[in-house]
Amino acid sequence: MTTQNTRLENLPINGLTHDGRGVGQFKGKTIFVTHAVPDDIVTANITKHHDNFDEADCLEIKTPSPERVTPFCPVYAECGGCQLQHLSLNAQRHWKNQNFITQLTQSVDAQQCQTSEPLTGDDTHYRRRTRLSLIISKKDKVARLGFKQKASNEVVDITDCPVLTQGLNQAIQASKPALLEQASRAYKEVTLVEADNGIFNTFQTSIEHNSEKKSDQVLPYYTLNIQSKPLKITFPADGFIQINQALNEQMITQALNWLELQPNHKVLDLFCGVGNFTLPIAQHVKTTVGIEGEQPLVETATHNAQHNALDSVQFHKGDLFQDMTPKPWFKKQKYDRILLDPGRQGAFNLSKVLGKLKAHIIVYVSCNAATLIRDIKELEKQGYRLTQAGMIDMFPHTTHTEVMVQLTRTHKALKKPKSRPTFKM
């Protein structure tokens, strides 16, 4: 391997970053290479120098990796929706899982941790919710409906997306002419969601596909088929929903198993939304309490509990980024189990005080491993240890992932070790 100015010839790639860049080494320094994958040999051009690493673009693939594949989407090269279609599905999952487990176990006490096999499902037509961009391009004055380009505000026109459900694709095709007529130079978003009772959208143009005309009062719903009695979950059309139905059900099932529920338990579900975890939990235990920051979601969750005849569930509004310790559901309370599923920002302040609730097991679901690890460190200070961890491939062909951990109370606060133990997979 040689270097001339900032050009590296025959650079072997031996890893993958969390954001999908290949990892190489040159003279002891780590090089992050865009568009490269593990086991490629590439020519790279360094674009940014840093003290401990450099960033580079891939100029040429000298020897392609056995795991390099041809992307199945015709606009993959331009569209910013997917980042990993050029890497085999098995390799994607391997590196997502390995990066998560390595990052986790190098950062927290993992001596008691067992890793589970990644939860996986179909890699196409899995996404039941999408957000499209609608705009008239400033460059060529053409109206487009689609996804933003990679590293650009320009929009790639979409008629059929292979990761969206067939129902969403058909709805886009049917509604696209009317939507394009409403395009302007002002950026607009069109959110579509496929529910059990049809296609719903948050734009003023009606989208009707394989469903009767829906009044403003009708809310979308999905069905959870993970118990002997299915659950009907209503949600706002413009609100959050786990976009991968099959993986959502697998994730809930794993969470129920890791909570190790008993009929007499009292369980707290934090960041509960409309009850995606709360209601399945309530089918197993004596009392369930769900806390959510938005009042409309609290009302929807309460409706869902009533509709599913789950009378032992209580939902309360609470800003979980503020001090919750004076609240009646927290002050002088004890829970057997806690589940939390925050957004990317995590639950830092809340994690500092969860030990006061004396739950034996906490299950934490996260879409951001960095904030999860930060919060685990706070729980370690209160006597919790990492006992299970696993990756959920909720978003195939993207760099995003969902993860889940189980923490068990040991009654002993963690003393800072001289060095972290190496975790064996």
Q: Count CB neighbours of 389 within 10 A.
A: 27
Band of the pLDDT at 208, cuts 50, 70, 90?
very low
Q: Is the distance from CB of 271 to CB of 298 less than 8 angstroms?
A: no
Tell me how far CA of residue 319 lies from CA of 140, 277, 300, in angstroms.
Answer: 45, 19, 17
On the question of pLDDT at 357 being above 80, the answer is yes
Band of the pLDDT at 420, cuts 50, 70, 90?
low
What pLDDT does 334 receive? 98
The pLDDT > 70 percentage for the chain reads: 92
On the question of pLDDT at 413 being above 90, the answer is no
Residue range 60-89: mean pLDDT, rounded: 96
Band of the pLDDT at 1, cuts 50, 70, 90?
low
What are the start-end ranges of the E strands in 109-211? Answer: 114-115, 129-136, 143-148, 155-157, 188-195, 198-201
What letter does residue 240 receive in the DSSP assignment? -
**Cα 185 to Cα 212: distance, rounded to the nearest angstrom:** 33
Distance of CA 80 to the CA centre of its chain: 17
Between helix 89-105 and helix 369-380 the angle, nearest 10°, is: 30
Domains of the chain: 3-63 (2.40.50.140), 89-122+222-409 (3.40.50.150), 129-212 (2.40.50.1070)
H or E element in which residue 362 lies: strand 361-366
What pLDDT does 227 receive? 79
Q: Is the distance from CB of 61 to CB of 39 less than 8 angstroms?
A: no
**Cα 292 to Cα 304: distance, rounded to the nearest angstrom:** 14
On the question of pLDDT at 2 being above 60, the answer is no
On the question of pLDDT at 418 being above 70, the answer is no
Q: Edge-to-edge strand order for the sheet containing 188-195?
A: 155-157, 143-148, 129-136, 188-195, 198-201
More reliable by pLDDT, 300 or 215: 300
The SS3 assignment for 319 reads: coil
What pLDDT does 215 receive? 46
Q: Which residues of 347-372 are buried (b: 16+ CB within 10 A; e: fewer)?
A: beebbeebbebebbbbbbbbbbbebb
On the question of pLDDT at 214 being above 60, the answer is no
Residue range 170-176: mean pLDDT, rounded: 95
What letter does residue 357 receive in the DSSP assignment? G
What pLDDT does 152 receive? 87
Contact partners, residue 294, CB within 8 Å, separation at least 6:
317
Contact partners, residue 141, CB within 8 Å, separation at least 6:
none
On the question of pLDDT at 424 being above 90, the answer is no
Contact partners, residue 113, CB within 8 Å, separation at least 6:
104, 105, 386, 387, 388, 389, 423
Residue range 398-421: mean pLDDT, rounded: 80
H or E element in which residue 232 lies: strand 231-234
Annotation marks residue 161 as catalytic: no
- 280 burial level (CB within 10 Å; 0-12, 13-18, 19+): buried
Number of H helices, E strands in the chain: 7, 21
On the question of pLDDT at 272 being above 80, the answer is yes
Residue range 240-260: mean pLDDT, rounded: 97
On the question of pLDDT at 416 being above 80, the answer is no
What digits encode the pLDDT tens for the residues 304-317?
999 999 999 999 99
Residue range 110-134: mean pLDDT, rounded: 96
What pLDDT does 419 receive? 55
**Cα 275 to Cα 341: distance, rounded to the nearest angstrom:** 11
Instruction: Compute the mean pLDDT over every residue in the chain, rounded to the nearest whole number.
Output: 92
- Residue position matching structure tokens 């990993």: 84
Q: Count CB neighbours of 7 within 10 A.
A: 14
Q: Is the distance from CB of 348 to CB of 320 less than 8 angstroms?
A: no
What digits encode the pLDDT tens for the residues 78-106?
999 999 999 999 999 999 999 999 999 99
What pLDDT does 218 receive? 85
pTM of the model as a whole? 0.91
What pLDDT does 209 receive? 44
Can you read off the two tokens belonging to residue 332? 């002088």
